[in-house]
Structure formats: C-alpha cells, structure tokens
Structure 1
Amino acid sequence: MQYFKIASLLAAAIASVQATNIVTLKSLDDVDRTVYFTPSAGHAEIAAVQVAAGQSVDVEIPFQWIGNWHGVQKGQANVPGMLGEVTFDGWGGKNYFDVSAIVNPNDKDNVSEMYPAGQPNTPTSGCKNFPCDNAYYVWDDVQTRVTTQSHLICTLHKNGYAKRDADEVSEEKLSRDFVLGKK
C-alpha cells in the first residue's frame, strides 16, 4: 500500500509540473464565428467554440496536443480555411505554432495572427493584412515559430480590419526538419 501512495503522489507531482496549454481566440472585429479544432491522428478531440464579435475565449489544450483550427463566420458553411496550427509540448519541451494558408489561402477573414500571450510582439505568425510573407504557404515553408510559453493568442478578424498595438518585429524562422527534430 505504501508503494501505491508514493506512486500516486509522484504521478500527481508530474501532472502539476505539466503546464496547462491555452489558446485564446481573440475576435478583433464585428463578426461572430465558430472555431473548429482538428487533432492530428491519435490526439484528443476538442469541441468547437463560439467566439462572439469583439470577445475572447480561452480554450484549454491537452498536454502534447498536435492539431489545428479554423474559423467560420456565422451563417457560413464549415469549410476549412486559414489554419492556426500547433504542437504543444513538442520537441525539446517547446511549443511550435504557425498560421497556415496551405488549405485555403483565399480565407483572409478568420484566423489572422498567432503569438505567445506573454510576448505580444514576438514571435508572430500570420498577417494583419493578407497576403504577407509571415504565414505558411507551402508544405516546407520556413515559417514555424517556437516559444516556451504555454499560452498562445490567435486573432480572428476580417482582412485588414484590426490593428495590433505592436510594431512588426524581425524574428527567427524554423524549418520543418528542425521542428521534427531532424536537424
């Protein structure tokens, strides 16, 4: 019985060390949206969430979750578009993210930018105004960003509608091989 108690305490300690991953979906315009999550194979499902115009919604993301999400404006069909993509608690214990235009580069009015909550200026992926050179357009683009922070912000807005208060910052971009630990 003593070993069971020790094992339980150890498991609880390990679980408490794992940071809670959060994505804040932040609407910067006057449009209501539903955000749909798509996990990579073998990862947990996350329920779709409603994001009201001008509001923010925090979504808890499971430990080591890999997947993406897309926004759909109220009254529109659920067609994947611009994606927010993440790998939480990935290689080296870091969090990797990007805004991807690979599925539908014409969707310029939903997922816009992503950045760590504690570092609103850098690193940033995505665009205030599409197109830009700060999004993931082809499968091997060097656009993936990395952070140790477990809380990311994903802005949602119509193309060019909203402006963040931060200046653009030059930042390091990582190749896909680096993110996969092949470098």
Structure 2
Amino acid sequence: MPSFINNIVTLALASLVLVSNVAGDKLIFRNRSDQVRWIDFTPNTDGTNGIGDVRVEPRQDVEFSMDGYGPEWDRGRGWRGNFRAHRDGAPREYDHIVWGEVCFHCDSQHPEFNTFDVSVVRDPNTQEGIHWMYPRGDPGAGLSGCDHFPCSTCYVNSGDNWQTKTTTSNDIYVEIRNS
C-alpha cells in the first residue's frame, strides 16, 4: 500500500510541475505614452491559439495572461511569438514600429526558462512602440531595448541573437513609449 500512495504523490507532484510551467505567464504592458495603444500578436508556432488585440490606455498598465495560448500540440510549452504596440487608428500593416518577442517555456529540457527581446530589424530608426522589456523580480536577467533607437541593447540585425534575454520569471514587463 505505501508504494501505491508514493505513486499517487509522485504523479500529483509531476502534474503540479507541468501545470506550473504554463500557469501564470503574463506580459505586463506599461503604456508610458500619452496615447491609446493596441497590442497585436503574431504567433511563431502553428497550432497556437490566436490572441485578439489588447487595448492599453495612456499612462496605464495592463497585465495580460498568456495562459491557454500555447501550441495545441504541446501543452507543456507556453505562447511564443511577436507583438507590437501601434497607436489607436494606425493601420495594422504599419511596419515602422518596434517589435517585442517572447517565448514562454520553449526549451523542453529547461521549461523553467523564458526568453524575450526588443527588435528594430524592420526599421532601426523608428522610435514608435515598445522600448523596453524586462522580467519582474529577476534583475539579473537584464533588459532588452533602449530609450532611443538604434542602440546596442536590442535586435538591430536579424543575427543579433545575443540580444535575447533569458529569465525564470513568468512575468515580463513591456514598456511602450514615444520618443
């Protein structure tokens, strides 16, 4: 009987670990501009649940849960993709804007890690949109982004992989600004 109980306890703990890997993933959008911003999302993985646009009022923070948006084929991993913050009324096709990217629990060998970065690859001289990304409660993970683009702490060229930051925090701040 004790081995049966041990098996039940082991199974319960394993289930909690799996759930904790995908539960609680958040992007915290901090709109530091004086205009309404709309966040639109583009997943990097087929089979990922679509996310509708998120409205962020001027000088407000919005915590957006990423739970349930990971790929259907692998529930142990979280959402991965790009997003941008465009002005109210701006066309969605507008590419001269700073992008953010996040990947929650992408590495199956180390599901506790999440990655993030800020990118101006499409237009390195733009000043519009996302300026900073950083994890809540993990100052050692570093920052991605800058106050004025281009800079050395964001993706400027598509090969700037060293700009990707890694954290164990499931909460990533995303600062939106005008420059």
Q: What band does the TM-score fall into relative to the shorter chain?
A: 0.7 to 0.9
Residue identity opposite 2:78 in structure 1: Q
2:169 alignment counterpart: 149
Q: CA deviation at 1:14?
A: 4.7
Distance in 1 (alpha carbons) for counterparts of 2:28 and 2:139:
12
Give 1:78-97 correspondences, 5 Å limit. 78=92, 79-80=94-95, 81-91=97-107, 92-93=110-111, 94-97=113-116
Q: CA deviation at 1:27?
A: 0.7
- Contact kept, 8 Å, 1:35 with 1:72, in 2: the verdict is yes
Residue identity opposite 1:84 in structure 2: G
- Contact kept, 8 Å, 2:25 with 2:66, in 1: the verdict is yes
Give 1:1-183 correspondences, 5 Å limit. 13-18=16-21, 19-42=23-46, 43-62=48-67, 63-78=77-92, 79-80=94-95, 81-91=97-107, 92-93=110-111, 94-119=113-138, 122-141=141-160, 142-159=162-179
CA-atom RMSD in angstroms: 2.4
- TM-score normalized with structure 2 length: 0.77
Distance in 1 (alpha carbons) for counterparts of 2:142 and 2:16:
31
2:86 alignment partner, SS class: strand
Instruction: Note the residue ranges of structure 2 that are not aligned, 5 or more in a row.
Output: 1-7, 68-76
Q: Out of 45-54 and 11-20, give the one that drifted further.
A: 11-20
Residue identity opposite 1:39 in structure 2: P
1:173 alignment counterpart: none
- Alignment length (residue pairs): 155
2:5 alignment counterpart: none
Q: CA deviation at 1:44?
A: 2.1
Q: CA deviation at 1:119?
A: 3.2
- TM-score normalized with structure 1 length: 0.75
Q: Out of 17-26 and 73-82, give the one that drifted further.
A: 73-82
Identity %: 30
Q: Out of 87-96 and 113-122, give the one that drifted further.
A: 113-122
